[in-house]
Amino acid sequence: MSAIECRLFINGEWVEPGGGEWTGVLNPATGEVIGRAACATGEQVDRAVAAARAAFPTWAALPARERGLLLERARQEVARRQEEIARLITLENGKPLKDARGEVAWTMELLRFYAAEAERVAGSTVPGYQANRRSIVIRQPVGVVAAIAPWNFPVDLLSWKLAPALAAGCTVVAKPAPNTPLAAAAFIDCFRQAGFPPGVVNFVCGGAELGEALVSHPGVDKVSFTGSTEVGRRVMTAAASHLAKVTLELGGHAPVIICEDADLDRAIPYTVRRSFSHAGQICHSINHILVHRSIAEPFIDRFVAAARKLRVGNGLDVPDADLGPLATPAVLRKVEEHVADAIEKGATVLLGGHRLADPPYDRGWFYAPTVLTGITPDMRIAREETFGPVAPITVVRDDEEALSLANATPYGLVAYVFTRDLDRAFRLSERLEAGTIGVNNCSTVQLNAPYGGWKQSGLGVELASEGIQEYLRLKHVAIELRTA
Ligand code: NAD
């Protein structure tokens, strides 16, 4: 397989698109075509699902320890190819190379974690209802998993699904986002190189229509989807047609509350990074800063000063840039619309507020780090996910106002609080409506803690031992012994 051409991986082989159709892959930093991806046909989706079904009984029956050893071998292949994969991520997604390297490092961690977790899946015994009855509860793999990923972490987020699914004994048909298939294909190839049996891991490329065909396929037992809330709703509806289980990791609108006793030396670097890193295209990026009025002035001054220093760059030319371009023209358009809407409704621009159109940014989809104040609830930016390098700031009177604004969106993925007061940290954490809370930090994701959205940010969890449960089903075995 040529690294920059992405074919389809079905039943252990890289194959050409059935209809002969390819789609170009663009570099967001330059707008240039850097590769192409095969467009799978509906018949190829059928073949991929059939291959996964055929491989399932043998894979599920393999001792968990052996599945874990194979996952460890896949991790070693990713380690061997990490620089190649990272460069592909930067090329097609735009994030600076240092962040792409970080993404691959996390992917390896995922594989390490679930390689070990495979053999820790345990059932239970419960007291039988009669003296000669024994009852055991076992956990078995769900079956064929459709794993659908977005473009913002094209490799890492596939590993969030593949690693636990494969460890649990499921087989997989994976689909990347249409604009970021190249690094994902190289990642999938690591499973082939690691010696996974044909059909255990399959990979099809395409857009919404193909995704829908995969999710609605009656041969799929479980759908694990990461993407927008809007598409998540459609995925759930399609999966309902054959009652496939679903895990949905959806959009976010993360608030951060800066209390008047916050340690700004800590709050500033964390909030700047979590607002602008990966150009704000992370589900747990900060979408609303709620700062107490008594500390608003120093916070805003220091925040703007730090944001002004951020380096924007083409991620291959400037590997340690703080942020790169937006991933697609559509993402850029949405950011422009949100900022224009906020300005029209009275927001003040303290920094940025425009596209970067001069060289070296003129050919790509770069947007300046932007800070807005004077946010009001009627602005789109106050309740919709912007997914761009924009930090809207609202000055609040007290914790009650901060909480009511923080909880006023349909989302509930992540929220952050900065305070030196332990009581307040507990009380605010408990009342914030989100699946993850960062107190005095904005870097909350860790492998051994579950990650999942509340409200319209998702259903189910990923990561940790809870994450593997999403790929298992329970079975009660009631055994009657001969009467003694
Ligand atoms: P998206 O919802 O547009 O697409 C996600 C994936 O779904 C892509 O592979 C796409 O091709 C596919 N798809 C589109 N329509 C489909 C359909 N009808 N049926 C099946 N599949 C379909 O999202 P995106 O723009 O690629 O990614 C950005 C979104 O992802 C943001 O909302 C972000 O918050 C969210 N996200 C969430 C998490 C999380 O863990 N909660 C992590 C990363 C990104």
Per-residue pLDDT of the chain (484 residues; tens, 9 = 90+): 345 999 999 999 999 999 999 999 999 999 999 999 999 999 999 999 999 999 999 999 999 999 999 999 999 999 999 999 999 999 999 999 999 999 999 999 999 999 999 999 999 999 999 999 999 999 999 999 999 999 999 999 999 999 999 999 999 999 999 999 999 999 999 999 999 999 999 999 999 999 999 999 999 999 999 999 999 999 999 999 999 999 999 999 999 999 999 999 999 999 999 999 999 999 999 999 999 999 999 999 999 999 999 999 999 999 999 999 999 999 999 999 999 999 999 999 999 999 999 999 999 999 999 999 999 999 999 999 999 999 999 999 999 999 999 999 999 999 999 999 999 999 999 999 999 999 999 999 999 999 999 999 999 999 999 999 999 999 999 999 998 7
d(CA 2, CA 340): 42
pTM above 0.85, yes or no: yes
Residues framing ligand 1 (Cβ under 6 A):
148-152, 157, 175, 177-178, 207-208, 211-212, 215, 226-228, 231, 234-235, 249-252, 283, 385, 387, 413, 453, 458
The token duo for 265 is 């030396």
**Distance between Cα 149 and ligand 1 center (Å):** 6
Catalytic residue ranges: 249, 283
- Which residue, 206, 205, 129, 196, is CA-closest to 163? 196
Sign of CA dihedral 347, 350, 356, 358: positive
**Start-end of H helices in 216-263:** 229-240
DSSP character at residue 367:
B
Contact 306, 272 (CB under 8 A): yes
* Helix/strand/coil for 9: strand
Q: Whose C-alpha lies nearest to ligand 1, atom 9? A: 177
258: enclosing H helix or E strand = strand 254-258
| Pairwise CA distance, residues 236 & 226, whole Å | 12
> Rounded to whole angstroms, how far apart are CA atoms 169 and 61?
8
What pLDDT is stored for residue 1 in this prediction?
39
Q: Ligand 1 centroid to 151 CA: how many Å?
A: 8
CA of 148 to the centre of ligand 1 (A): 8
Q: What is residue 119's DSSP assignment?
A: G
Return the exposure string of 155-186: e unless at least 16 CB atoms fall within 10 Å of the residue's CB, then b: bbbbbbbbbbbbbbbbbbbbbbbbbbbbbbbb
pLDDT at 158: 98
- Measured in angstroms, how far is the CA atom of residue 293 from the centroid of ligand 1? 37
Say how far residue 393 (Cα) sits from the centre of its chain.
Answer: 25
pLDDT (0 to 100) of residue 101: 98
Residue 215 Cα: closest atom of ligand 1:
20
Residue 429 DSSP symbol? H
Q: Are 214 and 184 spatial neighbours (Cβ–Cβ below 8 Å)?
A: no
Which pLDDT score is estimated for 484?
75
Find residue 437's DSSP bridge partners.
415
